[in-house]
Structure 1
């Protein structure tokens, strides 16, 4: 299903992962979404109806995960090396920045700047103060079922996450997340 880009106000809500205080699993659970993905085509990207349909087919045929974004250089078009995506992030803003950065690296020098062609949200998306990538949302179900001390760490710059259990749950979660992220920005987001 093709959607128009969500309102700017909704798109500007950022979970502020790095600065937020951890919440507990009971608070986090109702803020999460299911596994269905909606594609929001950016009307400002200048895509014609056929190109918008190509983007929609591209997303659906590759089973891309939310939160995500697809960027390209309009001068080069969709069928070029500039077409790049970033998927399975914890928010659409970070995914959009990653897709634009990848596009800028892949496009031909001197060609038009990259733009976001589409963004991927969970179906029924409404801004929330806490969000997880699609994979982290799926892993949350196991987290919620486990007993004892536990924690989830998230990377603010990637879609990485880590889950820890036991007495050193928070340290485990941060270490696992940082190992996946290739960055050192993982922070505890959920702790029980």
Structure 2
């Protein structure tokens, strides 16, 4: 991994202020949430045409994403003056929306780029297959956990941190408190909120 100079930031690795697309003012019910989520099995890569990547660089990044099974929502940023194979190549994956993943990758890139290099730009973003903007979104891992929770029946709650990508599920009596507690166990997850409750 270090040979590509890509520092991978999972959703819990770096907290930045972000758009709260996964959090609603009031929790929604499980059926409504389920209807808005994308499948958790496949993801697609969207290359930024403004990055002007060579065919070789684009192929390398796609291969890197696919071989490491990075999860949506994700992004990779780099400083063009430093090149793709440099410390400025930074990735952030498994967030609840692509905007937060993108900001996280760009922030990490800015911290790692050479002082004389141009500002960082996005090289690519990772979305669920069939992506279209929706009012409720979860990361790929959170989508899987949500599906497993829905299979249990009974009282259910799901909590997320929009800035870190953390999440937690709770079932049975006190499901909402269990979900919050599970979410808050992720380092840096100080903004956990219950987003789904049945």
TM-score normalised by length of structure 1: 0.88
In structure 1, distance between residues paired with 2:134 and 2:119: 31
Secondary structure in 2 aligned to 1:117? strand
CA-CA distance at 1:167 after TM superposition: 2.1
Question: Paired residue for 1:148, among 150, 154, 177?
Answer: 154
Deviates more, 1:71-80 or 1:42-51: 42-51
The answer to whether the Cα contact below 8 Å between 1:155 and 1:181 also exists between their aligned partners in 2 is: no
Report the counterpart of residue 33 of structure 1 in structure 2. Answer: 38
Report the counterpart of residue 20 of structure 1 in structure 2. Answer: 25
In structure 2, distance between residues paired with 1:172 and 1:182: 18
The answer to whether the Cα contact below 8 Å between 1:22 and 1:190 also exists between their aligned partners in 2 is: yes
Report the counterpart of residue 124 of structure 1 in structure 2. Answer: 130
The answer to whether the Cα contact below 8 Å between 2:22 and 2:97 also exists between their aligned partners in 1 is: no
Greater helix proportion = 1
The answer to whether the Cα contact below 8 Å between 2:78 and 2:84 also exists between their aligned partners in 1 is: yes
The answer to whether the Cα contact below 8 Å between 1:24 and 1:191 also exists between their aligned partners in 2 is: yes
CA-CA distance at 1:15 after TM superposition: 5.6
Question: Paired residue for 1:56, among 62, 76, 96?
Answer: 62
In structure 2, distance between residues paired with 1:57 and 1:115: 20
- The number of aligned residues is 179
Shift of the 89–95 alpha-carbon distance from structure 1 to 2, 3 Å rule, reads same
Runs of 4+ in structure 1 off by over 6 angstroms are none
In structure 1, distance between residues paired with 2:26 and 2:139: 18
Secondary structure in 1 aligned to 2:169? strand
CA-CA distance at 1:17 after TM superposition: 3.4
The answer to whether the Cα contact below 8 Å between 1:84 and 1:99 also exists between their aligned partners in 2 is: yes
Q: 5+ residue gaps in structure 1? A: 1-13
Deviates more, 1:66-75 or 1:144-153: 144-153
Structure with more contact order per residue of length (Cα contacts < 8 Å, sep ≥ 6): 2
Show the 5 A alignment for 1:1-192. Answer: 16-34=21-39, 35-192=41-198
TM-score normalised by length of structure 2: 0.85
Q: Give a deviation string over 1:133-187, Cα, whole Å, max 9, x none.
A: 0001111121111122110001010211011122221111112112215231011
Q: Give a deviation string over 1:7-42, Cα, whole Å, max 9, x none.
A: xxxxxxx66334532111111112111220100000
Q: 5+ residue gaps in structure 2? A: 1-18
Report the aligned-residue RMSD.
1.4
